[in-house]
Chain A
Amino acid sequence: MVTGSAPTDKGSFTLEDVSVTYGSETAIAGVSMEIAPTAVTALIGPSGCGKSTLLRCLNRMNDELGNARVGGTILLDGIDIYTSDYDPVELRTKVGQVFQKPNPFPMSIYDNVAYGPRTQGIRRRTELDDVVERSLRRSALWGEVKKDLKKHAFELSGGQQQRLCIARALATEPEVVLMDEPASSLDPISTQQIEDTIAELKAHVTIVIVTHNMQQAARISDQTAFMLRESMDHPAFLVEMGETRTMFTNPGDTRTEAYITGRFG
């Protein structure tokens, strides 16, 4: 297991006994894990096992869904992000998110990327230009769009749109980027590009990615967490978590092995 972050490393999560309740239904219970900084952590498991729900705990997007309650403790770099004086809006500038389907705003490429920085009050043109270029370069889209940043984001292909969304998330200089099956709606070539982008990004940011694709998890992640919900009467839980290589070659739990080798899910 990859544990213990060096004090200079930013973007590590510590989860202790985390649970999520919607109304009277408990969706997740008893999840404890360490998410290492500047590495890729994959959350895998069958559909409906609470991966996305857990992901949304990390930037408090569950707050926006109305009746979700989060229990337990979640620390970002040692600080509890669920205390009443911790501002979720502030949190989300440190923890960005890329969604399952590309969801660019209906505006130009430039304005999409500049949205986050502008939200933080950056107005100087040169500063914005810098951020936009840097973010687009990091998401490997710069070469394709640099000539026409005023182009409407909807004119891009699906894969380009998703990389635009990654650039948009990077523009606020987050410590962590959460990705919820970012390539599930894309073709193989675009998926490859997204995976390459992720591999380059992890030098500077922590990435937590939910994926259904075992090969993808094996290719891109450093550590893997396997979640399972055995029946709708019981909440989902963390089966095991470890270094990706170990998990895929020598899983500690028979259920993990069954899932990885494709016997269910």
Chain B
Amino acid sequence: MARQSSPISVSFRRTDTMPTPSSSRRRLGRPAKSRAADGVVRSIIRLNGWSAIVILAAIGIFLAYGGMRALSEVGFWTMMSGREWYPTIAEPRFGFVPLLIGSAAVTITALLLSMPVSLAAAVFISEFAGKPLKEVSKSIIEFMAAVPSVVYGLIGIAVVVPWVKETFALDSGLNALTAAIVLAFMIAPTIVSISEDALHAVPNELRQGSLALGNTRWQTTYKVVLPSASSGILAAVMLGMGRAIGETMAVLMLTGNAARIPGSLFESVRTITGTIAAEMGNVVQGGLHQSVLFTLGLVLFALTFFINLVADLVLERQRKRWRR
């Protein structure tokens, strides 16, 4: 995970204004030009520095712009509370509830499956593994994060779908549970690496203090390290949740995509992401259906935005805590 680590200040910063050239210069020409260039470059670089904020804002603006027609013709609450999703019939119904439930079912199940194993793995890698074992397992898990999601979908179809179908004696293996199992593996690298970072950030003095009192390593982990890293672990789970909600291709390939409110995890569901991916390619440009899908995208964006924001604020607070 390429998340920001602690900002150690080694670079120079300046607060004064641009120097104006003095009159008593030995060499005019190139250096004078390069000094003028210094100011220009600084402005260009500062502009780029703001790119993330600009893009993030643009995403929100363009999704809202695309969803404007739906918001005015159907209405936000009608969509959010509608229990039926029939977008292409003569009198279309644009209710998000089945899709929200589909996403929630898959996400929560995936989290429940992934969390215990991922957190235990993080504890082992951070607290019990020796250095070589730690390095090797971290890079292997990193590889897991780099596998494209469409490949996870493919392996899900080849391995997990038949397994679920047989084990639970179902007619089809394309359902919420199958998608959740595959998602559980997909979000494991996020949860493992971020909670491992959080555990690793706990100062060694705390561990030594506890060990010196006669606690075993596990008692130390359980009584001292885990509580100290709890907010970071919470953030790791939240970021894993954000990934799960936003995951598209694997879910699209595995849920079966039936847009109805499911009675159990063995039924086919359709998620927010799967709906957008499956339907956006077949809509009339500028049509109401397209606009509804943009609104759905806006809901997804807002959801992940807040989950990520809270997680990042939690991580930031934790980083400050250990920085002295």
Do A and B come into direct contact in the complex, CB within 8 Å?
A: yes
A interface vs B, CB < 8 Å? 63-67, 79, 84-90, 93, 119-121
For chain B, the count of residues having a C-beta within 8 Å of the partner chain is 19
**A64, A85, A86, A89: the one within 8 Å of B12 (CB):** A64
- Residue B27, interface by CB 8 Å: yes
Stretch among B14-22, B93-101, B217-225, B250-258 lining the A interface? B14-22
Quick check: B14 and A89 within 8 Å, CB to CB?
Answer: no
Q: Does B323 belong to the interface (CB within 8 Å)?
A: no
User: How many angstroms between the C-alpha atoms of A85 and B19 in the bound complex?
Assistant: 7
Q: Is A120 a contact partner of B14 (Cβ separation < 8 A)?
A: no
Whether the Cβ atoms of B26 and A89 lie closer than 8 Å is: no
Given A63-B14, A64-B14, verify A87-B19 contact (CB < 8 Å).
Answer: yes
A-B contact pairs, 15 of them (CB 8 A): A63-B14, A65-B13, A66-B15, A67-B15, A86-B19, A86-B22, A87-B19, A87-B22, A87-B35, A88-B19, A89-B19, A90-B22, A120-B26, A120-B30, A121-B30
Say whether, besides A120-B27, A121-B27, A63 and B22 are in contact (CB < 8 Å).
Answer: no
Chain A residues whose C-beta falls within 8 Å of the C-beta of B34 in the assembled complex = 119, 121
Q: Could you tell me if A87 and B20 are in contact, using CB atoms closer than 8 angstroms?
A: yes
A67–B13 alpha-carbon span in the complex (Å): 9
- Expressed in whole angstroms, the Cα–Cα distance for A63 and B16 within the complex equals 7
A46 to B167, CA, bound (A): 77
Our pick among B14, B26, B35 for the contact of A66 (Cβ within 8 Å) is B14
Partner of B22, one of A64, A85, A119: A85
Whether B20 lies near A84 (C-beta < 8 A) is yes
Contacts of B27 in A (CB 8 A): 120-121
Q: Given the complex of chains A and B, what is the CA–CA distance between A64 and B13 in angstroms?
A: 6
- Whether B7 is near chain A, meaning CB under 8 Å from some CB there, is no
CA distance A90 to B29 in the complex (A): 13
Judged by DSSP, the binding face of B is loop
Is B3 engaged at the interface, CB distance under 8 Å to the other chain? no
Asked if B214 is an interface residue, CB under 8 A from chain A, the answer is: no
| Distance, CA A159 to CA B104, complexed state (A) | 65
Q: Which residue of A lies closest to B19 (CB)?
A: A87
Flag if A121 contacts B29 (CB, 8 Å).
yes
New A-B pairs, 9, CB < 8 Å, besides A66-B13, A66-B15: A66-B14, A85-B23, A87-B19, A87-B25, A87-B35, A93-B26, A119-B34, A120-B31, A121-B31
Q: Which residue of chain A has its CB nearest to the CB of B13?
A: A66
Q: Give the shortest distance, in Å, between A85 (CB) and chain B (any CB).
A: 5
Report how far A87 CA is from B26 CA in the complex, Å: 12
The docked-state distance in angstroms from the alpha carbon of A121 to that of B29 is: 8
Chain A minimum-CB-distance residue to B22: A87
CA distance A65 to B9 in the complex (A): 11
**Chain B neighbourhood of A84, CB < 8 A:** 20
State A68–B220 Cα separation when bound (angstroms): 45
Contacts of A86 in B (CB 8 A): 19, 22
Report the 6 A-B pairs with minimum CB-CB distance, sorted nearest first. A121-B30, A64-B12, A87-B19, A66-B13, A87-B22, A85-B20
- B30 and chain A: residue at smallest CB distance: A121
User: What CA separation (Å) do A63 and B13 show in the bound complex?
Assistant: 9
CB distance from B57 to the nearest CB of A (A): 29
Instruction: Give the residues from 114 to 137 in chain B that come closer than 8 angstroms, CB to CB, to chain A.
Output: none
Least CB distance from A123 to B in Å reads 9
Q: Which of A79, A84, A86, A89 has the most CB of B within 10 A?
A: A89
Q: Is the CB of A89 within 8 A of B15?
A: no
A191 → chain B closest CB, angstroms: 28
A156 to B27 Cα, complex, angstroms: 33
**Chain A residues with CB under 8 A of B31:** 89, 119-121
Residues in chain B near residue A63, CB distance under 8 A? 14, 16
